[in-house]
Amino acid sequence: MAPPTWLNHPLFNVASFLILGQLAKRLNLDNPDNLFYARATYLCAQATVIGLAYWLMSVVDKKNDTTTLRYVKPAAQEWDGTKGQEELVVTTNKDYDIAEIKKSITQTLTGLGIIGFLHLQFKFTQPLVIQSILVFKTFFLSKQALLHVWGEPAVGDLRRPFKNESPFGGMMGGGQPLTDKASIKRAEKALKNQ
């Protein structure tokens, strides 16, 4: 059973953001009691999603998919404009999925720090309400959840290694992972020559 496709539609994302923003305005977060409940809900939501991520890691571990996964991690561009070296990655589907789930935990903790800073330093309260709900949408529509919770087949966008969807992916990590035989052979040859 797959989640409804409209949940990931850009118009749904914009509409949910606007509706949740209006909801946050109506909650009167200037009232200390309401603000306490908003903070508690936010922290509970983040803790729940982190707990769900650890549960998802146990699901991946139980499936124990030891299919070999080989790809080339593209060379990252250094600050001085030079390119580093491509890296051959040989792993299993299980290890790859667990590493991706750990990245999502790190992203959740980073978001927690950013929202906490914005709230405590600048008194922003709307993100507490919005992220208390959207964090669950993000988790349940992640590629790992689609594969291991919803039972989607690993084809198309769900084929490992996952494409880098970050808008800053080109600047931060270099580019998309390469899975073609020529790139893998070139990386193996470079590794032997070292």
Averaged pLDDT, 122-135: 91
Structure tokens at 32: 């200390």
Residue 55 confidence (pLDDT):
98
Structure tokens at 89: 């990655």
- Above 70 in pLDDT, residue 159? yes
- Above 70 in pLDDT, residue 168? no
Averaged pLDDT, 16-30: 87
**Where is average pLDDT lowest: 38-47, 146-155, 167-176?**
167-176
Q: Tell me: the pLDDT tens digits for 35-71?
A: 999 999 999 999 999 999 999 999 999 999 999 999 9
> 12: part of which helix (H) or strand (E)?
helix 10-26
pLDDT-above-70 percentage for the chain: 95
What whole-number distance in Å separates Cα of residue 96 and Cα of residue 68? 10
Of the pLDDT bands very low, low, confident and very high (cuts 50, 70, 90), residue 10 is confident
How many of the other CB atoms lie within 10 Å of CB of 176? 16
Of the pLDDT bands very low, low, confident and very high (cuts 50, 70, 90), residue 24 is confident
Q: What is the mean pLDDT of the chain?
A: 89
Residue 164 confidence (pLDDT):
81
- Residue among 155, 178, 177, 151 at smallest CA distance from 165: 177
Q: Which residues pair with 70 in a beta bridge?
A: 90
Q: Is residue 149 classed exposed, middle or buried when 0-12, 13-18 and 19+ CB atoms within 10 A define those classes?
A: middle
Instruction: Look at 83 and 153; give whichever has higher pLDDT.
Output: 153
Domain boundaries, the chain: 5-192
**Where is average pLDDT lowest: 69-78, 96-105, 172-181?**
172-181
Q: Which residues pair with 87 in a beta bridge?
A: 73
How many of the other CB atoms lie within 10 Å of CB of 162? 18
How many of the other CB atoms lie within 10 Å of CB of 51? 10
pTM of the prediction? Answer: 0.87
Residue 85 confidence (pLDDT):
80
Residue 56 confidence (pLDDT):
98
Half-sphere exposure at residue 23, Cβ-oriented, CA atoms within 13 angstroms: 14
Rounded to the nearest 10°, the torsion over CA 158, 163, 165, 168 is: 170
